[in-house]
Structure 1
Amino acid sequence: MAVEVTVPDPEVQARALALRFRHWDRDNSGFLELSDLKTSARRLGEAFGRPVNAPEQLALEESCRQLWEILARHADVDHNGRISQDEFIAAFTEEVLADPAEFDRVYRILLENVVKAADADGDGKLDLGEYVRLMESWYSAGESDAVAAFAKLDRDADGFLTLEELVRSAMEFYLGESPPLAAFPPSR
């Protein structure tokens, strides 16, 4: 199911992408590197007790690698394995968000693999506890921030988050319509 892409306010979108950049810059170097995305995947797997060779873990790591390759192809023109925040914003906007099919091919699949890795009971959705662990490990969010984000994202108030709810949230975040995850700064 392809997402509908609307034209966002460029300043709002840049702020959302800058926040995402800071979440993923795990070593706080001011650059995004493949190792930052691998660290995010490893931390998520560890939080859910996933062995490094578990299918969910391998799929998540592959999704991170694919995202990195798309961003690097656009932004790492000097081939030094690093992408600055400005390069990240331009690459993510032009390579992932500009085309609904590309968003589905790259980001939806990444979110799907994040959900699979965080779905401890295997029911295909995330309960509050799973979501809190996900947010603490993947984005370094605090528990209270993750609980508040869960409440905003669980629009049908069924106590679970589905992949579709998370995809919709991501699009709203990146398009600046309703940035539910922007409430918390990255913590290390």
Structure 2
Amino acid sequence: MWRSRHPSPGGMRFQRESPNLGSDCRRPVRAQFDKPGGHPVLDHFFGPVPQTRQAPPIATIRRGEPTVTATATSILSRKLQHMFRLLDNDQDGYVTAQDISARADALAAPFGAHPEKAQALKDSMHHIWDTYLQQVDEDGDGRLTAADYERGIRAAIDGDNAGFVDSLHRSAAAWYALFEADRDGHLNFDEYATLARGMGGAAAEGREQAFRRLDHDADGSLRAEEVRKAVVEFWTGEDPDANGNWLYGPL
């Protein structure tokens, strides 16, 4: 199976995964900026570091086979297809590890002075790819179709929900650390708009509408708790009215 490789910045340290993930798999140890007490926002995201885990095997799932009874027009399907389009950086109809890197680079581009945070974001996105999505790459060509991508995410939700949600929260914490530039513990509209532009999604009007939906208490900012809730609603929820459906702009 083809495996992605990601260079680490000088300040990052790596440790090997447990043997059941293969001897060549590595994940970054927490950088200094994401340790508890090091940032007012990330303290809300991070608890104790969980032990490395392997997603449950999904070898019985075959390309083209449904894994859930939800229809293709379910709200979760719409969100996952929307995310697939955002991640398909070169718009060739496939998502690859290179697409993941390109999207991470686009998100981090406005913050060149923080390479360690940019690398943490890229590592967190590739962790989801390596742990949950490569399992549905049956031919090992490193490319996933939209159907493959949705099948992989749904298998993660059904088979390793706690681990998958933890991975999502860590990825969200990584981009929050980048975009919450003034370190006041809140994400204001301009900071959220930078995120939305980096994802390549909503236009200006859509970003404003999305921000209002995500800002539950209407205080003009997104708290870490609001982002955590939105992340779970977007990636795992089937409620068509959930505010978290707007996390990356209108569908």
TM-score, normalising length: structure 1:
0.84
Q: Deviations over 1:66-107 (max 9, x none)?
A: 011023332112111111111100101111465332133311
More helix by share: 1
More strand by share: 2
Q: Do residues 123 (structure 1) and 123 (structure 2) align?
A: no
Match of 1:23 in 2: 86
Question: 1:137: Cα distance to partner?
Answer: 0.9
Check the 8 A contact 2:180/2:187 in 1, yes or no: yes
The counterpart of 2:133, out of the listed 72, 91, 102, is 72
The counterpart of 1:86, out of the listed 133, 142, 147, is 147
The counterpart of 1:176, out of the listed 235, 238, 243, is 238
One-letter amino acid matched to 2:90: D
Gaps of 5+ in 1: 2-6
Match of 1:4 in 2: none
Separation of aligned partners in 1, 2:165 and 2:185? 18
Question: 1:141: Cα distance to partner?
Answer: 2.1
Are the structure 2 counterparts of residues 115 and 23 from structure 1 closer, same or farther at C-alpha, using a change threshold of 3 Å?
same
Greater RCO structure (CA 8 Å; 6+ sep): 1
The counterpart of 2:205, out of the listed 115, 133, 144, is 144
Which has the greater radius of gyration? 2
Match of 1:163 in 2: 224
Match of 1:46 in 2: 109
Check the 8 A contact 1:16/1:182 in 2, yes or no: no
SS of equivalent residue, structure 1 residue 89? helix
SS of equivalent residue, structure 2 residue 184? coil
SS of equivalent residue, structure 1 residue 161? strand
CA RMSD of aligned residues (A): 2.4
One-letter amino acid matched to 2:231: A
Is 66-75 or 130-139 further displaced after alignment? 66-75
Count residues in correspondence.
Answer: 179
Identity across aligned pairs (percent)? 25
One-letter amino acid matched to 2:196: M
Check the 8 A contact 2:210/2:250 in 1, yes or no: no
Gaps of 5+ in 2: 1-44, 46-67
TM-score, normalising length: structure 2:
0.64
Q: Deviations over 1:108-160 (max 9, x none)?
A: 11111111111111223210100011101124321211111010000011211
